Amino acid sequence: MNPLKKKPKTKHSQPAPIKPDWLKVKVILPGLQNPVRVVRESLEKGRLHTVCESASCPNLQSCWSKKTATYMLNGDICTRRCGYCDVATGKPKPVDLEEPKRVAESVSTLGLNFVVLTAVNRDDLDDGGASQFANTIYEIRKVNPKIKIEVLIPDFKGSETALEIIFQAKPNIINHNLETVKSLFPKVAPQKNYELSLSVLSRISQRGFITKSGLILGLGEKIVEVKEAIVDLQQRGVSMLTLGQYLQPTSYHYPLSRYVPPEEFLYLKNFAKEIGFKHVEAGPLVRSSFHADEQAEFLLDTRSYEYS
């Protein structure tokens, strides 16, 4: 195990239970011309990171086989230690100022029309890493001005300056994941704040951007708490929602409480749609960036942005 990824073991640590059938993922064996190999080679050539690999996403092969990936900016070491997350934590390296250009080159090589950009938390930086998002957006649009870009941003500690940097770069969709219900924040994500995340989302929607957020289930939340969180998100102007299953990466991570059955995801999806969400993706293998282009297609058709 990468020592940076190792979480402090506590008396609560335990291995996750055996996955049910609905969580089994078909493995794609990479051949010489397999798109998975093409994506991997592009990323390795550009010395780029993806949340697909760093967060041990179960959909990696599915997404890469369609020549899509979620680029992770500002390195692969996070300054925060959230119990559910498999991204490495520790002291980050200096920001790579050439990274935005290499991401744009990779996007061009893969012929992408829709790109998702995310990043590790960089609380060591004055702007929390917002400038790297903006610079990457600018570089991608030099390659293709018509490309659609979604950014999955951290809370930036609520910094107005950092958020304004993102707003000025004009991504098509801005996502900030709430991740869990209010009662679990102190245990699951002690360096984050429920109300702060809601405030960030409210500011995004108030500026007129398509606003997206997501929750991971199976951490010990009650269904009534999930519904309360969904209502809180809708009231802050969030129009796109993702609901997925927590998959405990190792016994050092926050313990899995249960596997949520597909019918419960369907119930929550219907609830969210009933209270006004424009689009909801809910299911055991759903992640915030999974099929993001398909999720956003109909919403983006109703919006137009001009870039120069």
Mean pLDDT of 109-126: 90
305 CB-side CA count, 13 A = 20
* Pick from 251, 240, 229: nearest CA to 86: 251
Query: How crowded is residue 181: how many other Cβ atoms within 10 Å of its Cβ?
Result: 24
pLDDT value of position 227: 98
The pLDDT > 90 percentage for the chain reads 55
What is the tens place of the pLDDT at every residue in 41-98? Answer: 655 555 555 544 444 445 445 554 555 567 889 988 899 988 888 788 889 999 999 9
**Eight-state DSSP code of residue 286:** -
pLDDT value of position 304: 44
pLDDT value of position 2: 43
Mean pLDDT of 282-308: 63
Range with the poorest average pLDDT among 164-168, 184-188, 249-253: 249-253
Q: Say if residue 244's pLDDT is above 80.
A: yes
* Pick from 16, 64, 3: nearest CA to 38: 64
Range with the poorest average pLDDT among 14-28, 176-190, 292-306: 292-306
Domains (range + CATH), the chain: 21-300 (3.20.20.70)
What is the tens place of the pLDDT at every residue in 144-174? Answer: 998 899 999 999 999 999 999 999 999 999 9
CA 253 to centroid of chain Cα atoms: 18
CB within 8 Å of 230: residues ≥ 6 apart: 215, 241, 268, 271, 272, 275, 277
Q: Say if residue 116's pLDDT is above 60.
A: yes
